[in-house]
Chain A
Amino acid sequence: MAVETKERSVAEATTEELSPLAARLEEQFDGAVVADSPEGIVVAADHLVKVATYLRETADLSYNHLANLTSVDYPDYFEVVYHISSTKNGGDPVWLKVRADKADPVVPSLTPSWPGADFQEREIWDLMGIRFEGHPNHRRLLMWEGFEGHPLRKDWHEPYFESEVKPFPSRWPEGLHTQVEERTPFGNNTQYPNGWDPDEWEPVDEMVDFVERVEARLGDNGDGLKTQKVVVNMGPQHPSTHGVFRMKLMLDGETIVGLEPVVGYMHRNHEKIGERNLWVQNIPYCDRLDYISTISNAFPYVLAVEKLMDVTPPERARYLRVIIAELARILNHFVSIGFLFNDLGAYFTPVLYCLEEREFILDLFEMVSGSRMMCNYYRFGGVVRDSSPDWMKKLEYLVRDRLPRTIDQIDFFLSENEIFLSRSVGVGVLPPDKAIQFSTTGPVLRGSGVSYDLRKAAPYSIYDRFNFNIVTEKAGDVYARYQVRLREMRESLKIIDQALDQIEEGPIQEGRKNWQQKVPAGEAYGRAESPKGELAFYVVSDGGPNPYRYHIRSPCLINLTALEQMCLGYKVADVVVILGSIDIVLGEVDR
């Protein structure tokens, strides 16, 4: 399965044929640009750090936000793809690519200068097996140390492997039901290195490694007192259970001096499943990513595939998509605010009032899509079902009457609560420059005073038709993030209100739906402002009915990179609150 690329190598092309940016880079750094195409500038590995720094530091470019970092396993080489966007200028991201050798893939690490690359590079090492030279903590992210192989490589097969791509031939026309448990008895359902004996295996003490790194960073600390630091393992069952998540903490008394999130307990290799699936089969899987605002997860995915297919959905479908996505945002922020108070110890009183509102929004989702949470609503070139007049009436009542009232109520009861104020103001501060360096997005970034919202910065779908504001708060603490979410709900209501006035009757699907949809060869990066941040899908098609590469830029995972930065210097009890204010969902973090 070779993927054709339409690129030109620099040796063949004159500078006029290169894109302006590539020509500029080639001029600046001789021999930096290997090839250029509309789908990215291929940069020589040894020039990568210089080129990236140039893109960030040059005033008129200021590509300062490393949005996405992923890799593709091509037959002849590995390719690491960087999407760098600009929080100042907005617009589309610049695509950088670096190629790595098949036998021993090594790429220089961007983590020292772009800390937001930390988890993403570790994930690539874990799943694709590309080493990043100079990474300060070069270990696996999702799988356990000692896991055999790198699962996203094309030659890696999972234990229940049946066939390279779906549909599996055993289902039809000679479909005789078997259960995988019969085929693979317990004990054989995982893979081990050759000659590996579980009885003789000694687990790696990962704490030693963590302690060494933190102590190296602290140095002598200058306080003269040789106090003993305490290492605490928080989790894997987190006290307010946002999911199965673990933190390694290093404490000086009760103050945090080092923290490292450990993720991967819910890892199911969504991306590998996605590569086995047909294009359309990925849509219901998307609902399983962020299981709070499920319905809008497929939005960026269909946007990415529609870019490749060159399809635009009809007007009514586009309005329905936006209405649904904004409802999901309101729902998400209700839940997020409610659970933030749970983390603070206001056990279940605020959250139940928030969940009550969520229930009405979920009723709307169920009416229009058939399921409360696993909605499976978006389609390539449309949506699955039209809304009924009854649905519109219910929506109107919610948006124009009930929800504004309850948001005001939450604001009235919670925003000035003295306990909340004393626990959240000035806690978990993330300064704006750090927020950008750590590639955070969504309310975390806007809570630090950076006015960056994809709905305005690079308007997708029909967001350019609505009049709304980007909500920002300067403080960068837990309270600021809470305020951003609260005010964002009001902005979302504004958008739905306008959409209700503008929406007209009409078709909801462009062209004919095809279950075996073939997608023209190419690459696309579809992104949307999900309630948690920039949720993006990077898809590579080889022209067949299955994706060649399917990567998800998870806002939750990348926002977690900044957790240590936010927690340093605060108390253990604050960690729970700070984590709650990032608003992570482990289904999306672990994928």
Chain B
Amino acid sequence: MLGKGVLKGMRVTIGRFFETYINDLKYFPRVAAQEAVETRNRADTKGLMTIEYPEQKLEMFEGFRMIPFLVYDEDPENPRCTACGICARVCPPQCIWIERDQTPEGRPMKRPRNFTIDATICMSCGLCAEFCPFDAIKMNNDYEISAYDRYVDLVYHKDKLLRPVEYYAKIHPTEHAIKEEEKREKEEAKRKAAEARAKKAAAAAATKKD
């Protein structure tokens, strides 16, 4: 029959139309409530699958990465970064510039004086965060970074990059918990080793006395 394909196709469209309404009735009388938004991107949803960005937003997955940021524990003057330069060197588009701080005598210090990331060049690959041995650089999940002047607003300096560790714990809770656990274990092992050393030293001292 001529036109069978068209009729078959229309069935899908109409089916989808009604499914959306039936789905929305659950939230009646509220229209497109936040609960509805959260179900929209699930694979078992029937009906409409889009949301109205920017009024409605989906929550990002935990691992989502955008532009890197620097982590500090307590004092922003004293970040975790030791200016070792691994992130700047492993960066594929070479968008990280690090100026190492110096003592007044000119000796290099384990701290960056300047730390610049050119967000216009950054490809959000996450290699810097992956290879940082000090957990000092992490990937932010803020994706709304558009600006009017890319030469000024999209060049991130140290003041804009530094974020407290609480922020990191908030956006990457699982990863942060794993890292904290690793750190705790390491410290525990260190403490035990130190204790054992002290015991040995004491024993050695005791034997010497004899």
Contacts and interface: CB of A to CB of B under 8 A. Distances in A.
A282 B97 CA distance: 20
Interface in B76-93: 83, 85-86, 88-92
B46 to A, nearest CB: 11
A412 to B, nearest CB: 8
A353 B12 contact: yes
Interface in A190-229: none
Contact of B44 (A168, A176, A402): A402
Chain A, interface size category, equals 35 or more
Contacts of A183: none
B14 interface: no
Interface string A248-290: 0000000000000000000000000000011011101100000
A168 B94 contact: yes
B176 interface: no
B125 A376 contact: yes
Contacts, number: 128
A174 B88 CA distance: 11
Contact of A418 (B2, B83, B91, B94): B2
Contacts of A181: 151
A166 B63 contact: no
A167 B94 CA distance: 7
B114 A356 contact: no
Contacts of B83: 172-173
B131 A513 contact: yes
Interface in A371-422: 371, 374, 376, 384-385, 394, 397-398, 402, 409, 412-413, 416-420
Interface residues of B, number: 43
Interface string B88-132: 111110101111100000001000001010100001111100110
B143 to A, nearest CB: 11
Contacts of B89: 166-167, 171-172, 515-516
Contacts of A416: 5
Nearest to B65: A370
Nearest to A388: B174
Contacts of B90: 167, 278, 280-281, 515-516
B9 interface: yes
Interface of A: 166-168, 170-177, 179, 181, 277-278, 280-282, 284-285, 349, 353, 356, 359-360, 363, 366-371, 374, 376, 384-385, 394, 397-398, 402, 409, 412-413, 416-420, 513, 515-516
Given A363-B61, A420-B5, 6 more contacts: A171-B96, A175-B98, A280-B127, A349-B9, A356-B49, A513-B131
